[in-house]
Amino acid sequence: MKPVTRARLTALLLCWCVVGLGHCAHATSRPQAAAAEPEYSIRAIRYATVHDFPLSDLVIGTPGDKKVDVAMIIWLIQGGGRTILFDSGFHRFKSLEEFHIADFLSPDEAVKLAGVDPGAVTDVIISHAHWDHMDGIDLFPRATIWIQKGEFEYYTGAAWQPGGQNGGIYPEDAIELVRRNTWGQVRLVNGDDALILPGIRAYIGSRHTFASQYIRVAGNPTFVLASDNCYLYENLRTHRASATFEPADEARNIAQQARMISLAGSVDRVVPGHDPEEFVRFPTTGRIARIK
């Protein structure tokens, strides 16, 4: 056998490296298959009612002393092997006393009306940290919580410092959010037009709270679930803001309503956060309206 010189060995090693790198580059440059977008079902579940609420607190700039009933709602989204809640409602007794809640059914019991065991909820997307939207996260102990990074950081930190704004936020809920984070059950949504799950994207900008979000659920057709970034259909009809984190955010809130319509493809497919009209517009059985 012909001896291999040092120069020849070096050349062979270089050749093998080049060939190997070529194979690696080819493998890593292959486009990854995009995750399929499920055709989600969407149901609104009305778990309580607040009667005779001032309309001017919901549709900013509305004159007069008109009162409306407010529906307390969570949204159940199912598809692709996941059972998702958009918002988790509330259950603490102090809310029932302070706001004179009627027809109350705890959110974990309310989802059972839709045939869902609370322990089977895989994900809870929180629009914002107010008591009537985040207080129920402890009722769904196995779920992963999705919340805007800015919302999480503010309401588990600066909101409780001198000068912070924590109105409508329960300390117990901030503590539960931190606890779930230490258990690896919180995912921080980083900004606008962010993919949460296949076919579900989050958008910010309405500033109902420090970093509130709304979601677009893709499909045939597509819907936008606004939560409190748009309280009522009346906000959409009159182009008036919902309550905002700061008065300067009202113009941004109105602009976001127009964006919601564009994202949904129709004003009729923007679903507000507290409007009992949802249970008239969509086929409804008892407390449940089938949006899609």
Model confidence at 232: pLDDT above 50: yes
Closest to 227 (Cα-Cα) out of 88, 61, 60, 50: 88
Model confidence at 18: pLDDT above 50: no
DSSP secondary structure of 69-81: EEEEEEEEEEETT
What's the pTM value of the predicted model, to 2 decimals? 0.87
The band of 34, judged by pLDDT with boundaries at 50, 70 and 90, is low
Model confidence at 233: pLDDT above 80: yes
What pLDDT, on the 0 to 100 scale, is given for residue 103? 95
20-29, 45-54, 82-91, 208-217: which has the minimum mean pLDDT? 20-29
265 close to 222: Cβ distance less than 8 angstroms: yes
Q: What is the pLDDT of residues 158-183, one digit of tens each?
A: 999 999 999 999 999 999 999 999 99
How confident is the prediction for the chain on average, in pLDDT? 89
Model confidence at 9: pLDDT above 90: no
Residues contacting residue 150 through CB under 8 Å, at least 6 positions apart: 204, 210, 211
What pLDDT, on the 0 to 100 scale, is given for residue 206? 87
Model confidence at 121: pLDDT above 90: yes
What pLDDT, on the 0 to 100 scale, is given for residue 8? 46
- Domains (range + CATH), the chain: 41-290 (3.60.15.10)
Whole-angstrom distance, CA of residue 257 vs CA of residue 197: 23
Paired sense of beta strands 82-86 and 123-125, if any: parallel
The band of 99, judged by pLDDT with boundaries at 50, 70 and 90, is confident
Whole-angstrom distance, CA of residue 227 vs CA of residue 126: 9
